[in-house]
Amino acid sequence: MTSKPLVAVLSGAGISTDSGIPDYRGPNGLWRRDPEAEKLVTYEYYMGDPEIRRRSWLMRRDSRALGAEPNAAHRAVAELERAGVPVRVITQNVDGLHQLAGLSARKVLELHGTAREYVCTGCHVRGPMEDALGRVAGGEDDPPCLACGGILKSATVMFGERLDPEVLGQAVAISKACQVFVAVGSSLQVQPAAGLAGVAADHGARLVVVNAEPTPYDEVADEVVREPIGTALPALLRRVAAEGG
């Protein structure tokens, strides 16, 4: 009896578009439509300008992300775990949909943090984003930290902030150790996340790219899938599970 291969899934914005969350860099992405919106998630602007913070809280309040539900692609990854295949998710997303789909939280590495919590930039206390948004709904347009009075922000990695080195280190280790690396819904253009595909390929993993647009790693991939993610990923992971059994 052969042991099942370790499958690493790197997920980008494209895996969540079927859940109603728009991507950022695609043809209709947020940054292309509204370059000013990028300031709302840039650390320097956010910390230095109360008006930017007020607009950021309104954006969070109006965002559909916290109300989004996992789609077939998220569920397929969770089903792979339930099938007994060792799986780890490295996600560029901040929506928490992999965990909502049933994947064990300890098996999800959130490279860019989570939009489901807030964090204080002063004392680093964290809490549910719903609590902060409740204060915004109650009339606080830039709610300060209740513990120290500091500036609150989403527990996401903003432009100008470093990724958590521990999380990134774990992601690199998984990329080196896995036998199958599936990059799904990612442009593979944002470093260092994009480079994980190359790390996996260099260490002998079978690299599969599932994305609507071409990526810089298509040439080194063992398989490139251009079909819609909601149907392509479940089919691919069923095949992976069968082959690894």
Identify which of 69, 66, 70 has the alpha carbon closest to the alpha carbon of residue 130.
Answer: 66
Regarding whether 194 and 84 lie in a shared domain, the answer is: yes
Regarding whether 144 and 217 lie in a shared domain, the answer is: no
Q: Which amino acid, 120?
A: C
Regarding whether 118 and 107 lie in a shared domain, the answer is: no
Regarding whether 200 and 124 lie in a shared domain, the answer is: no
Regarding whether 130 and 98 lie in a shared domain, the answer is: no
- For the segment 182-239, what is each residue's pLDDT rounded down to a tens digit? 999 999 998 888 999 999 999 999 999 999 999 999 999 999 999 999 999 999 999 9
CATH number, domain at 49?
Answer: 3.30.1600.10
CATH number, domain at 234?
Answer: 3.40.50.1220
Return the pLDDT at 24.
Answer: 59
Catalytic position from the list 74, 112, 124, 203? 112
Regarding whether 169 and 131 lie in a shared domain, the answer is: no
How far is Cα 182 from Cα 187, in angstroms, rounded to an integer? 13
Cα 213 to chain centroid distance, Å, stands at: 18
What is the value of pTM for the model shown? 0.90
Give all strands of the β-sheet with 180-184 in edge-to-edge order.
Answer: 108-110, 87-91, 7-11, 180-184, 206-210, 223-225
Look at residues 93, 125, 156 and tell me which one is the last residue of a structural domain: 156
* 51 token code pair: 């008006």
> Residue for token digits 């991507």?
23
| Residues composing the chain | 245
Return the pLDDT at 190.
Answer: 85
Helix (H), strand (E) at residue 207: strand 206-210
How far is Cα 224 from Cα 221, in angstroms, rounded to an integer? 7
Strand partners, 181: 8, 207
89, 103 Cβ separation under 8 angstroms: yes
Specify the number of domains making up the chain: 2
Regarding whether 137 and 80 lie in a shared domain, the answer is: no
Look at residues 98, 131, 156 and tell me which one is the last residue of a structural domain: 156
Active site residue 112: yes
Identify which of 143, 146, 144, 151 has the alpha carbon closest to the alpha carbon of residue 58.
Answer: 143
Regarding whether 211 and 169 lie in a shared domain, the answer is: yes
Regarding whether 152 and 121 lie in a shared domain, the answer is: yes
* Residue range of the domain that includes 2: 1-21+70-112+163-245
* 21 token code pair: 């969350």
Strand partners, 159: 42
Identify which of 152, 115, 109 has the alpha carbon closest to the alpha carbon of residue 21.
Answer: 115
Return the pLDDT at 245.
Answer: 44
- Positions in the chain short of pLDDT 70: 1-3, 23-35, 244-245
> Residue for token digits 């691919």?
236
Regarding whether 50 and 86 lie in a shared domain, the answer is: no
Regarding whether 55 and 168 lie in a shared domain, the answer is: no
For helices 129-137 and 50-62, give the axis angle rounded to 10 degrees.
110
Regarding whether 107 and 35 lie in a shared domain, the answer is: no
